[in-house]
Each structure stands twice: as structure tokens, then as C-alpha cells.
């Protein structure tokens, strides 16, 4: 299958737009925080008797700034997760033969559709979601069905899987190490990870790293 068409796929274009939007939004908020601090200093607003009512809304210490980039990190992964299923769906619709023997539809699932086009779209969407349950399943499907390799090197793949483990720890464990995180990170780290400890990483740095990795994925696909 010739794959030069990938660079023109809508799902890839939209993915790039979404991660750029997230990136600009997070840094826009950081700039707003910085500007607010300058204004507070310039106007001496902190000396106002009523200032304490607004202090929590206007002042951001280092921990709150770090949390901003943690949210941005999670948001970038949300952009990626949407892309996974959206990309597969677009491929399934473009190459419907790839869906053969993939899934049996029940009558109650499709009895309200008006034509075969709607049924095909539903089937493509359903299978795309199933095959995007996790990164490894998604990669396996792309490789077997379309001979597409998202990651050009093993090192790039491992780096991304490590970032995914970090995302899961933030998203599902409140940024606290647990047995799942410990076992996943054994592949990447030589040092032992204790349980029940707060993950003490530079969240702004890892936000930047993830943004760079996602752009590399786009670049890899557009060169296929």
C-alpha cells in the first residue's frame, strides 16, 4: 500500500492543530500569571485591606505553576488519544477492506441507520476505538493492517511509553508512585522506584518533552 497520502490526512492535520493550541494555551496562561504578578507589584495592590479576599486567585507559587504544566501534559495526551482513534477511523474508511472479519455487528446496533454508508462509518468508528484502547494495541493494528510504523526507532518508542506511564500516574494516581508505575518504569530506569511517593519531576520540562515527541510522531507519519 502506498502511504504518501498520509501527510494529507485530516486526522493528522487536526492533531497538529490541537497540540499547538494546547501548547499556546498553557504558555498563554503562564504569561498571564507573570503579567499579573508585575501588575500587583506595580500597583502595590497587596497592601490593600481587601487584597486577602483575592490572594488565592491572583498569586501562584511554584507548586501551582508546576500544576499548570501537569494539566498541560495531561491535555497533550488527551489530544493524542483522540488522534489514535481518529487516525485509525480515517484509515478504515479509506481502506474498507481492512475491516473484513474484524467485527460482527448486532442488529440492534444498526437498525436505526438509513444507509450502508452510515453502517460503514459506525463499524470503522467502533473498531478504531477498540484498537486504540492503549498505545501498544494501536501500534500493533497500524503495523498489521496498514504496515505503518509510527515510531522510527526503538528508543523513540520507549521514550514515549515512559511518558505515557508518567501520564497515567498523574491522571489515575494523583502523581503518586504505585506498583503499576513501578513495574512499567523498570524497563526504562535502573534505579528502584519506592511506592507511595510523590513524583518529583520538572513538569514544565516534561510538558516540553511530550510536545516535542508528539511533533516527531507527526513528522514521522508525514514522511511515510
* pLDDT reported for residue 59: 77
Report CA-CA distances (Å) from 218 to 8, 12, 16, 83: 11, 7, 7, 11
> If pLDDT is split at 50, 70 and 90, which confidence band does 3 have?
low
Q: Does residue 77 register a pLDDT over 70?
A: yes
Task: Give every CB contact of residue 204 below 8 A, 6+ residues apart in sequence.
Answer: 65, 66, 69
Q: Is the pLDDT of residue 7 over 60?
A: yes
- Taking residues 151-165, report their average pLDDT: 90
Q: Per-residue pLDDT tens for 33-71?
A: 889 888 888 888 788 887 788 878 887 888 889 999 999
Any long-range contacts for 22-29 (C-beta under 8 Å, 24+ apart)? 22/72, 22/75, 22/76, 22/79, 23/72, 23/76, 23/211, 25/72, 26/68, 26/69, 26/71, 26/72, 26/75, 26/207, 29/68
Task: For residues 170 and 153, give the distance between their C-alpha atoms in angstroms, rounded to a whole number.
Answer: 26
Instruction: Tell me the pLDDT tens digit for each residue of 81-99.
Output: 999 999 999 999 998 888 8
How far apart CA 135 and CA 59 sit, in angstroms, is 38
Helix/strand/coil for 198: strand
* pTM, entire model: 0.86
Report pLDDT digits (tens) over 107-132: 556 666 667 777 788 888 888 999 99
Which structural domain, as residue segments, surrounds residue 114? 4-222
Is-contact 220 150, C-beta < 8 A? Answer: yes
Q: How many domains does the chain have?
A: 1
Closest CA to 17 of 221, 214, 203, 220: 214
Q: What single DSSP character describes residue 112?
A: T
Amino acid at each position: 500500500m502506498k502511504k504518501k497520502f498520509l501527510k494529507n490526512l485530516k486526522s493528522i492535520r487536526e492533531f497538529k492543530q490541537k497540540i499547538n493550541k494546547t501548547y499556546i494555551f498553557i504558555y498563554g496562561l503562564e504569561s498571564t500569571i507573570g503579567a499579573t504578578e508585575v501588575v500587583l507589584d506595580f500597583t502595590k495592590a497587596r497592601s490593600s485591606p481587601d487584597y486577602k479576599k483575592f490572594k488565592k486567585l491572583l498569586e501562584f507559587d511554584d507548586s501551582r505553576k508546576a500544576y499548570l504544566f501537569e494539566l498541560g501534559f495531561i491535555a497533550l495526551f488527551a489530544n493524542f488519544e483522540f488522534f489514535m482513534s481518529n487516525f485509525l477511523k480515517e484509515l478504515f474508511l479509506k481502506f474498507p477492506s481492512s475491516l473484513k472479519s474484524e467485527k460482527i455487528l448486532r442488529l440492534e446496533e444498526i437498525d436505526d441507520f438509513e444507509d450502508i454508508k452510515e453502517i460503514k462509518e459506525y463499524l470503522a468508528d467502533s473498531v478504531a476505538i477498540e484498537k486504540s484502547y492503549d498505545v501498544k494495541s494501536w501500534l500493533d493494528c497500524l503495523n498489521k493492517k496498514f504496515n505503518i510504523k509510527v515510531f522510527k526507532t526503538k528508543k523513540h518508542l520507549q521514550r514515549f511509553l515512559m511518558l505515557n506511564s508518567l501520564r497515567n500516574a498523574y491522571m489515575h494516581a494523583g502523581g503518586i508512585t504505585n506498583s503499576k508505575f513501578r513495574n512499567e518504569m523498570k524497563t526504562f530506569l535502573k534505579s528502584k522506584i519506592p511506592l507511595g511517593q510523590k513524583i518529583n519531576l520538572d513538569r514544565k520540562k516534561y510538558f516540553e518533552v511530550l510536545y516535542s515527541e508528539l511533533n516527531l510522531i507527526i513528522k514521522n507519519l508525514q514522511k511515510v
